[in-house]
Chains A and B, each alone.
Chain A
Amino acid sequence: MDKIIEQIEFSELLSGKVLDALSEEQKEVLHDWEQKKNNKEIANNILNDNNFSEWQQKKDKLDTMEEWASFLERMETASEKPKKVFNLKAQKWISAAAAILVVGISIFTLFTPNESHLKPIEASSIVPGTSHAELVLSTGEIIDLEDSKDNKIQEGTISVENSKGILHYKSEGEEKQVEIKTNTLKVPRGAEYQLVLPDGTKVWLNSDTQLTYTVPFTGNVRRVELKGEAYFDVSPNKELPFIVATGNQEVQVLGTEFNISAYSNDNSVTTTLVEGKVQVTNKLSTDKTILSPNEQSILNKEGNNINKLNVDTYPYIAWKEGRFVFNNVNLELFLSKVSRWYDVEVFFDDESLKNLSFTGDLPRYSDMTNILKIIEAEMSVNIKIEANKKIHVYK
């Protein structure tokens, strides 16, 4: 055991050497070690680019999440074995007694005046959002949607299936629905959801977002109303233009893919076109612009005109691919986007911190503390977490 621990400790010296991070003292320790036996050779074999890339390839092939799921399954199967249960009965009593003791102690510490309610990142855990939403039917009935739960809903003559985080309206062919139903899909903070409309259009809804639409679409347009952020993959139909209304902006399309971010607490509506062609209209000034792929329009809520830019679209749509990608955005904007997904609040100790510029590509489905650690390291700020829900950024 001790020998293994020694190796674990030496690995820190070897990796520190690669990153030029060793102190004089550490260099000496490593040097002394290398003099012994064939250690120099061992170190050279480890610090070798071919061996490392071979290792990385093997590591990348491993799906750790899948292994964790399989571990949970194995634990479950093992605890169903009678022998195991019998064995553990006595221990369970001991654990229960210990638990009571622990509860007693934590209640005690809870009520002890304590100024250290701000914890460092390492001591916290903020789990990512999940797939859940509320569907408001035309009758006003509210249905909770979860990815673990399957529902079958009937809205007039249209059947709706909810399965694995996707709400799917099944088209009933050419059959005309007599009654028009209005539905709203509401996705809270800390959640996301997917939707397939009766015309086959796919919509990815980001956190804190709601989409209202009629079932089926009526008249000579397909019209939806959006608050928040969504990615649309509109199924082509030249006769029936698809319109996304957000506040005083309307986007009209025939069949295409684009992202709209229109949060009420942001002061602009951003439309980013990935494929096809769309027309963006400001309903107040009737200012219009046409977007081509890799173009973005920004409609300022106070101003009347629409600004058009050329952009790399990936950072704007990466959320739907499970990433947070930011290219030179200020820390305030970055954290406000991320906080919708983790359902946390962010506080800046100093105004100047808000304008620090951040560039990075981070995973969306991992604990928020992983992201915060990177921000601390990359931007030289200090972050403390209060009750796993409030993030404080200090100089």
Chain B
Amino acid sequence: MFLILNMRISGKKIQYNSHEFKVIFERHFPSLYLLASKILQNEQKGKDVAQEAFIKLWEKDVEDFTDENSLKAYLYVLVKNACISIIRKEKKITNLELENGLSVNNEAFLNEVLKEETYILLHKAIKELSPQAEQAVNLTLKGYSNQDIADELNVTINTVKTVKRRAYKLLRKNLGHQFIAW
């Protein structure tokens, strides 16, 4: 049996064993896992660290987050601390810093967060659309212009633009209030 515990996001109460929390878990687990497994260079350890982060969140019981981004930032901090502690235990910290160029020093960690967050957004934008959307994004990342993409995919430049617009619209829709109005 579970103890019924909650947290709050924007003042809204959310139970940990609810469907709502499941959605939050599914939304953030992948980035936390991918980041941790990259730092630790081990997928299983990455999963454990991401799991532990959610368990720690739950054990704290009533946490109050102003919005979902602050919750996510909090989870990232938990992941970072867990990674540091594992690396310390394995006494590899100096090697890792020097050899892989990636460490848990703040700068590198923040860059990895930016990477994870950008990729998860792009992934969300294209995953449920036609394969064309994915192709358009991949070719853009290759440095292709919209005209190049149109030529490559044998469609008009307007189709490329529409595909991108749809993907962005879907992304906004999926993220809803999380999206910052710049």
Residue of A nearest to B160 (CB): A20
Contact A102 B180 (CB under 8 A): no
Number of interface residues of A (CB under 8 A): 71
Cα–Cα, bound, A139→B182 (Å): 67
Whether the pair A127, B146 counts as a contact (CB closer than 8 A) is no
Tell me if B88 is interfacial: C-beta within 8 Å of chain A.
Answer: no
Majority SS of interface residues in chain A? helix
Quick check: is B155 within 8 A (CB to CB) of the other chain?
A: no
* Closest residue of A by beta carbon distance from B124: A15
Q: Which residues of B contact A144 (CB under 8 A)?
A: none
Given contact pairs A9-B69, A25-B182, a sample of 6 additional A-B residue pairs in the complex whose CB atoms are under 8 Å apart: A15-B125, A68-B25, A75-B2, A79-B1, A88-B3, A378-B129
Taking CB as reference atom, which chain B residue is nearest A14? B118
What is the total number of residues of chain B having a CB less than 8 Å from a CB of chain A? 77
Judge whether B103 is part of the interface by a CB distance below 8 angstroms: no
Q: Which residues of B contact A59 (CB under 8 A)?
A: 30, 34, 119, 123
Instruction: Choose among B59, B62, B76 the residue that contacts A78 (Cβ–Cβ < 8 A).
Output: B59
Partner-contacting stretch, out of A46-54, A275-283, A290-298:
A46-54
Binding site for A on B (CB under 8 A): 1-6, 13, 16-17, 19-20, 22-23, 25-26, 29-30, 33-34, 37, 43, 47, 50-51, 54-55, 58-59, 61-62, 69-70, 72-74, 76-77, 106, 110-111, 113-115, 117-123, 125, 128-130, 137-142, 146, 161, 164-171, 173-174, 176-177, 179-180, 182
B110 pairs with A88, CB closer than 8 A: no
Q: Are B173 and A19 within 8 A (Cβ)?
A: no
The answer to whether A1 has its CB under 8 Å from any CB of chain B is yes
CB contact list, A41-81 vs B, under 8 A: 42, 45-49, 51-53, 55-56, 58-59, 62, 64-65, 67-68, 70-72, 74-76, 78-79
Which of A154-162, A169-177, A369-377 lies on the face that meets chain B?
A: A369-377
Total A-B contacts with CB atoms under 8 angstroms apart: 192
Q: Which of A88, A125, A127, A374 is within 8 Å of B61, CB to CB?
A: A88
Name A89's closest neighbour in chain B (CB-CB). Answer: B3
Measured in the bound complex, the distance between the Cα atoms of B59 and A329 in whole Å is: 48
Residue of B nearest to A73 (CB): B51
The majority secondary structure among interface residues of chain B is helix
Chain A 97-123 near chain B by CB (<8 Å), digits 1 or 0: 000001000000000000000000110
Which of B16, B73, B77 has its CB near the most chain A CB atoms (within 10 A)?
B73
Is A91 at the interface (CB under 8 A from chain B)? Answer: yes
A347 to B141, CA, bound (A): 41
| A residues with CB within 8 A of B | 1-5, 7-16, 18-21, 23, 25-26, 29, 42, 45-49, 51-53, 55-56, 58-59, 62, 64-65, 67-68, 70-72, 74-76, 78-79, 84-85, 88, 91-92, 95, 102, 121-122, 125, 127, 359-360, 362-363, 367, 370, 373-374, 376-378
Say which residue of A52, A58, A68, A79 sits within 8 Å of B34 (CB atoms): A58
Which of chain A's residues has its CB closest to B169's CB? Answer: A377
Contacting residues, chain B, for A53 (C-beta < 8 A): 138
Known contacts A88-B3, A373-B170: A12-B141 contact under CB 8 Å: no
- Selected contact of B182 from candidates A29, A42, A68, A72, CB within 8 Å: A29
5 closest A-B pairs (Cβ-Cβ)? A11-B117, A49-B141, A15-B121, A4-B73, A21-B168
Write the chain B residue with the least CB distance to A59: B30
**In the assembly, what is the distance between CA of A74 and CA of B16, in Å?**
12
Query: Which residues of chain A have C-beta atoms less than 8 A from B33's C-beta?
Result: 62, 67
